[in-house]
Amino acid sequence: MYEGKIIKFYRQKAKITQEELGKGICSVTHISKIERGITEYSPEITILLAKRLQIDMEEELTSLENLKIKLDDWHECIISQNQQASTRLHNELKEYKLLELSEHATYYKILVANYYLTQGCTKKAKKRIYEIQRSVEELSVYESNLFKHILALYYSSVDDYTKSIDIFNTVDFKFYANPSIYYDLAVAYQNVHSPVLAYHYAEKALHHFKKTNQFLRIIDTENLMLIQVESDQYRNFNDTIEQYANLIKLCDLCNSLEKKAKVLHNFAYEHFRRQNYETAGTLYKESMALKEKDSPLYLLSLEGYTRSALIGKFVTQEDLVALIEEGLTIADRCDETLYRLIFTLHRYSAFQQKDDYHTYLFDMVLPYLKSHGYTLTAQTYDRDLFNYYSEKGKPDKALEVAERLINMDYVKQEETLELVE
C-alpha cells in the first residue's frame, strides 16, 4: 500500500529523477505507476529501488504500520498529563517525515493542536485548527468528534466558555469514548457559573480517573469539585480543610509542585472569603513559592496575598507598598495589563487616596474589565462606585452605575480575579 509513496518520498528527498532511479531496473513509466500506486509490481523491483535509495523498505513499512499505536500512546500521555512522555513523543513524531504519507496524518495534526493547548501555546494550536478545518469533511467519525473536543478546548483557552460548551454539546459520545472530556466540560460550566453541571461532569471524570489511577487528573478534578461544593453556605468548613489537606498530600506523593501551587492558591481563597486574611496570606505565599516569579500565575497569587494583607493589615505599610511595587514591576515585565491596573488600585488603597482610587477605577479599570469579559469583578467594582458616588452626593453618576448593574449587559461572564486557578 505504502511502497510507492515511500519510494517517491525518498526519491524526491535524494533529488533524483524517475529515470535516474529506474536506470537498469525498470522504465520511467513503470516508476511513475509504482509511485502513484496504479500498477502491480514485483517485490524484486521494490527491493532494487529501495537499495538504490539506501533505505530498508521493511523497516519503513513496519514504522508506518506502528504509527497508529504511537499516536494513541501520545494521546494517552496528553490525557494523563504525563508531560515528559508527551514531549518526548511529540519530538519523535515531528521528526518522522513519512507521517504525512499515512492515513493517520490528520489524526496527528489534531493531536498536535491538543498538545499545543496543553502547553499553553494557543497561537500554534489555532494555526493547526485552521489547517484541519479546511478539510473537516474528510475526517473519520472518531477524528471529527476528537476535533470538536479540541476546538472546544481552544475556545475555553481564550475564555469563550459559552462557545466551548456549545461545541462540547455536539460531540457524539457513542463514537468518542474519552472520559477526560467530562473534566473539560466541568471547567467550562464552572466558568459560566453553573456549579451543579460543573460538579456533575467533574464527578463523571473523577470516576474514570480513579479507575485508571490517573493521580494528577484526580487532583485537578477533586480541586474543581471542592470549588463547587464551597458554594454551599451551610457546608462545614472543617470538612473543606480536611479535603484540601488530603489534596496537598496527594500532590506531594505525586511530586507535582504545579498542582500543589494550584491547590494552595484555591485553599487560600477559601480562607480569604471567610475573612481569615492572615491564614489566606500564608497559603498564598506558599503557592507563590512554587511558581515562576515572572509569570501570570505568580501574579495571581501575589495579588491574593496583597489583597489579604491590605484588608487584614497583617504586614507593615512599608511591606505592603513593597508588595504592590513588586506586582507592578512583574506586571510590566509580563505585559499583564489587568494586574497593572489592579495593583495600581491597591496602591491608591494603601495610601488611602480614595478620590484618586475611584477616578482611576471609573476611567481605566472598569472599561478594561468590561471590554475583556471580567463580569463579576466589574460588577463588584460597580457596587463600590455606586456607594462612593452616593456618599459624595453625585446622584447622576450613581444612577449611571446603578443602570449598569440592573441591565447586566456585559459581553461575557468570567470568574472574579481573586478566585481560583
Q: What are the structural domain ranges in the chain?
A: 3-56, 66-158
Q: How far apart are CA 101 and CA 145, in angstroms?
A: 23
Position 107 scores a pLDDT of 92
CB 415 within 8 A of CB 265: no
Position 232 scores a pLDDT of 62
3-state secondary structure of 296: helix
Which amino acid, one-letter code, is at 10?
A: Y
Which amino acid, one-letter code, is at 15?
A: K
Position 289 scores a pLDDT of 97
Assign domain 3-56 one CATH number from 1.10.260.40, 1.20.210.10, 3.40.50.2000, 2.40.40.20: 1.10.260.40
Q: What is the DSSP string of 176-240?
A: ---THHHHHHHHHHHHTT-HHHHHHHHHHHHHHHHHTT-HHHHHHHHHHHHHHHTT-TTS-HHHH
pLDDT in tens, 168-221: 999 998 888 888 999 999 999 988 888 899 999 999 999 999 998 999 999 999
Position 131 scores a pLDDT of 92
Position 7 scores a pLDDT of 81
Position 412 scores a pLDDT of 39
Q: Which residues of the chain have pLDDT under 50?
A: 408-420
Position 259 scores a pLDDT of 93
Position 405 scores a pLDDT of 60
Position 410 scores a pLDDT of 41
Among positive and negative, which fits the CA dihedral 242, 248, 254, 258? positive
pLDDT in tens, 100-124: 777 788 999 999 999 999 988 899 9
For the chain, the helix, strand and coil percentages under 3-state DSSP, each to the nearest 5: 75, 0, 25
Q: How far apart are CA 208 and CA 238, in angstroms?
A: 28
